[in-house]
Amino acid sequence: MKGRTIALDELDGTEAAALIVDGQLHDLLIDSDHPRPGTIYRAVALRPVKGQGGMFLRTPDGNAFLRQVKGLAPGDALLVQVTGFAEPGKAIPVTSRLLFKSRYAIVTPGAPGINVSRQIKDDDLRDTLLGIAHEVMEGDHGLILRSSCAAGDPDDIAEDIAAMIQLAAQVLADTSGEPETLVEGDGPHALAWREWESDEVDGTPGSFERHNVLDALEDLRSPMVALPGGGSMCIEPTRALVAIDINTGNDTSPAAGLKANMAALRELPRQLRLRGLGGQILVDPAPAPKKDRRQMEQVLRAALKQDATETILAGWTQLGLMELQRKRERMPLREVLT
Same domain as 111, residue 85: no
Residue 189 has pLDDT above 70, yes or no: yes
Residue 249 has pLDDT above 70, yes or no: yes
Residue 22 lies in a domain: no
Asked if residues 100 and 38 have their Cβ atoms less than 8 Å apart, the reply is: no
- The Cα angle at residue 298 between residues 296 and 299, in degrees rounded to 5: 65
Residue 202 lies in a domain: no
Residue 205 lies in a domain: no
Helix (H) or strand (E) holding 27: strand 24-30
Same domain as 311, residue 226: yes
Same domain as 273, residue 260: yes
Same domain as 80, residue 113: no
Residue 30 has pLDDT above 70, yes or no: yes
Number of domains the chain is built from: 3
- Tell the burial category of 227 from Cβ atoms under 10 Å away from its Cβ (0-12, 13-18, 19+): buried
Asked if residues 182 and 40 have their Cβ atoms less than 8 Å apart, the reply is: yes
pLDDT at 208: 97
What CA–CA distance (Å, rounded) separates 266 from 259?
A: 11
pLDDT at 252: 80
pLDDT at 338: 65
Domain of 125 in residue numbering reads as 100-176
pLDDT tens digits, residue range 63-72? 999 988 788 8
Q: What is the percentage of the chain residues whose pLDDT exceeds 70?
A: 99
Residue 124 lies in a domain: yes
Closest CA to 266 of 298, 291, 292: 298
Residue 139 has pLDDT above 80, yes or no: no
What CA–CA distance (Å, rounded) separates 16 from 28?
A: 8
pLDDT tens digits, residue range 280-334? 999 999 999 999 999 999 999 999 999 989 999 999 999 999 999 999 888 999 9
Mention every residue, 6+ apart, whose C-beta is less than 8 A from residue 271: 225, 233, 235
Residue 161 lies in a domain: yes
Buried b (16+ CB within 10 A) or exposed e, 164-189: bbebbbebbeeeeeebebbbeebbbb
Same domain as 87, residue 105: no
Residue 20 lies in a domain: no
Q: What is the CATH classification number for the domain harbouring 238?
A: 3.40.630
Same domain as 112, residue 91: no
Mention every residue, 6+ apart, whose C-beta is less than 8 A from residue 255: none
Of 95, 117, 135, the residue at which a domain comes to its end is 95
Give the confidence band of 199 by pLDDT, cuts at 50, 70, 90. Answer: confident
Asked if residues 300 and 270 have their Cβ atoms less than 8 Å apart, the reply is: no
Residue 19: CA atoms inside 13 Å, Cβ hemisphere, count? 20
pTM of the predicted structure, to 2 decimals: 0.89
What does 113-156 look like in DSSP terms, one character per residue?
A: EEEE-TT---HHHHHHHHHHHHHH--TT-EEEE-GGGGGS-HHH
pLDDT at 140: 82
Residue 53 has pLDDT above 80, yes or no: no
Closest CA to 102 of 29, 185, 182: 185
Same domain as 81, residue 118: no
Residue 54 has pLDDT above 80, yes or no: yes
Same domain as 140, residue 157: yes
Give the confidence band of 149 by pLDDT, cuts at 50, 70, 90. Answer: very high
Same domain as 250, residue 230: yes
Same domain as 150, residue 60: no
Residue 50 has pLDDT above 80, yes or no: no
On average, the pLDDT of the chain sits at: 93
Residue 19 lies in a domain: no
